[in-house]
Structure 1
């Protein structure tokens, strides 16, 4: 019956990246219904008739993962013929980048509605996601490419660090997002040239190695860079 009524539909799929101070991860749900039952997938659903796509994204994330009030950026639309086995579905992808330890995962919709099929929501290392449902590997790849591009031109990941951090913390963040290793000296030279950091005059405490200096961001310069961007190439 559902298949007979399927014509052209629009959905949203969300690629939520998370950082846990060591690695970059992506949030996936385990589907509990066909098609692709027991497959890991991106959080997504059809857009309801009386909601816009932004409202659909908020509903999907809250119902399927428990995340609420998450800012997302639209990436692109996917409309390959046959991408959904039940009919023609165009999906609009969105992505976001979060600090994992600030959010709890808990699917909230337990009714038999289209947004109740998330058996589990779990963070996965971006390099070990395996085969996902539908064309979600393709959507994930596009959003990851967008994240890397943004990280090179905007301070997109700076909110993921604590208020005070070391230069090694900052380098680890960029290496996780850009998936490349930086020479320590060149990285610090680049960061210092941006004049974005303020030395707090404090050092790390309770560490087994030599305590490193702690820095914080200059909020005024940070907001300016968010607007005008920069070229982060080392």
Structure 2
């Protein structure tokens, strides 16, 4: 459709860890513009709709998923970002534990979790070209990845990717996956257990991957990490 006034949309950056890879939820657009291109889930905000409600509705309509928590990432309003007219989008971010396969609906032909490493960066191709994301979604995704990496430094968010009881090695794997780097096991263990109320021992042990018994932990009461776990 052609827009004669300013319109508002919502777009969603949803990240999870599947098969030991950081993955993003994308939909393949079934309608113009950029028909057939991969894009972030999202759509137009209805006239009487709150932004948070619009984000939850679009996610449900396009993928069938309902994450419990979405946080606003940023607002994007560069002229020409949408060929249909002047469109301002409010982007949301969610980091989720391993999720079920999405079910495409609405204006999405396909919905799928894809490795972040397989998505073309914004600078390499034109939006909507083969392998690239539609609109300015590559930029939005890049901003979401940076926000996620930063939040792991100063919040206990990484525990959201773990089961209720986990080993320090499993928690380290989350950081290594999101930060895309290897971490020294002993140094990481010292920092995690030294951060006030980040994790607490359960008193139980478990054997992971046929190794020796490892102590199990659960998330503590901290909302901010002190001291923070800084990226290498």
* TM-score normalised by structure 2 residue count: 0.87
In 1: Cα distance, 2:201 partner to 2:225 partner: 24
Structure 1 residue 229: Cα displacement: 6.2
The answer to whether the aligner puts 1:105 opposite 2:95 as a matched pair is no
State how 1:162-177 maps to structure 2 within 5 Å: 162-177=163-178
| CA root-mean-square deviation | 1.9
State how 1:9-158 maps to structure 2 within 5 Å: 9-20=7-18, 22-101=20-99, 103-107=100-104, 109=105, 116-130=106-120, 131-158=132-159
In the alignment, what sits opposite 2:216? 214
Q: For the Cα contact (< 8 Å) 1:30–1:120, is it kept in 2?
A: yes
Structure 1 residue 57: Cα displacement: 0.2
**Against the structure 1 CA distance between its residues 229 and 43, is the aligned structure 2 distance closer, same or farther, given a 3 Å change threshold?**
farther
Render the CA deviation track for 1:12-68: whole Å, top value 9, x for unaligned.
100001123622111000111111111110001011111111111011000001112
Stretch deviating more after TM superposition (133-142 or 61-70)? 61-70
Q: For the Cα contact (< 8 Å) 1:21–1:169, is it kept in 2?
A: no
Q: Secondary structure at the match of 1:16?
A: strand
* TM-score normalised by structure 1 residue count: 0.86
In 2: Cα distance, 1:61 partner to 1:207 partner: 35
Detail structure 1 runs of 4+ shifted over 2 Å in the superposition: 195-218, 227-230
Q: For the Cα contact (< 8 Å) 1:58–1:70, is it kept in 2?
A: no
Q: Name structure 2 gaps, 5 residues minimum.
A: 121-131
In 2: Cα distance, 1:183 partner to 1:203 partner: 22
Q: Name structure 1 gaps, 5 residues minimum.
A: 110-115
Q: For the Cα contact (< 8 Å) 1:31–1:38, is it kept in 2?
A: yes
Give the aligned length: 219
**Against the structure 1 CA distance between its residues 21 and 226, is the aligned structure 2 distance closer, same or farther, given a 3 Å change threshold?**
farther
In 1: Cα distance, 2:227 partner to 2:89 partner: 31
The answer to whether the aligner puts 1:180 opposite 2:181 as a matched pair is yes
In 1: Cα distance, 2:112 partner to 2:35 partner: 16
**Against the structure 1 CA distance between its residues 172 and 133, is the aligned structure 2 distance closer, same or farther, given a 3 Å change threshold?**
same
Render the CA deviation track for 1:172-194: whole Å, top value 9, x for unaligned.
01111222211111111101211
In 2: Cα distance, 1:23 partner to 1:206 partner: 19
**Against the structure 1 CA distance between its residues 230 and 50, is the aligned structure 2 distance closer, same or farther, given a 3 Å change threshold?**
farther
In 1: Cα distance, 2:210 partner to 2:225 partner: 40
Stretch deviating more after TM superposition (177-186 or 27-36)? 177-186
Q: For the Cα contact (< 8 Å) 1:154–1:230, is it kept in 2?
A: no
